[in-house]
Chain A
Amino acid sequence: DTAVSQTPKYLVTQMGNDKSIKCEQNLGHDTMYWYKQDSKKFLKIMFSYNNKELIINETVPNRFSPKSPDKAHLNLHINSLELGDSAVYFCASSQADHNEQFFGPGTRLTVL
């Protein structure tokens, strides 16, 4: 069973469109995250979320918004896509009192 899954694996879209990436974890973790990996492989935290609190990295544009329908899901919505949004986006999860994070396989977003 896949611990952290993301869909789609690849996403190609035009500038200005709105898109979503889904993330699900079956580990029973209470904290989930979104990371962005740029073309140089640099990874940066975008959001972390548990049922109490959303923490947003201050550098993330407000066109990006996480939505959590339940504890096992944290979806990423992106409005008005820009060329610079092209990257690989990783979802991750952890248990609040453990620091180890488990990562999904990533979604490669290409904005044309």
Chain B
Amino acid sequence: QQQVKQSPQSLIVQKGGISIINCAYENTAFDYFPWYQQFPGKGPALLIAIRPDVSEKKEGRFTISFNKSAKQFSLHIMDSQPGDSATYFCAASNAGNMLTFGGGTRLMVKP
């Protein structure tokens, strides 16, 4: 049972544009929602994370928006750059324990 659904599967954005990736979860016990960036052949790198007591968190060009009632959260990448081209995974966990990952989004930023 896939508990975290991620969309879109792939995304093409022009340089300077905004990349938006969405995730929805089912388990209301989840209370920690990180986003990871993964380049080919590398392990995932923690980008940014949010807990449900806030609706938005921003770190540099990366912003998480969180909607607890809808059980949805999204990643916004502002001023997208070719170097941002990677696969992005959302995830969810209960108290930082085992992570349940979304299916991933392959982002390509065209120069």
Q: Is the pairing of A and B real?
A: no
B residues apposed to A, CB below 8 Å: none
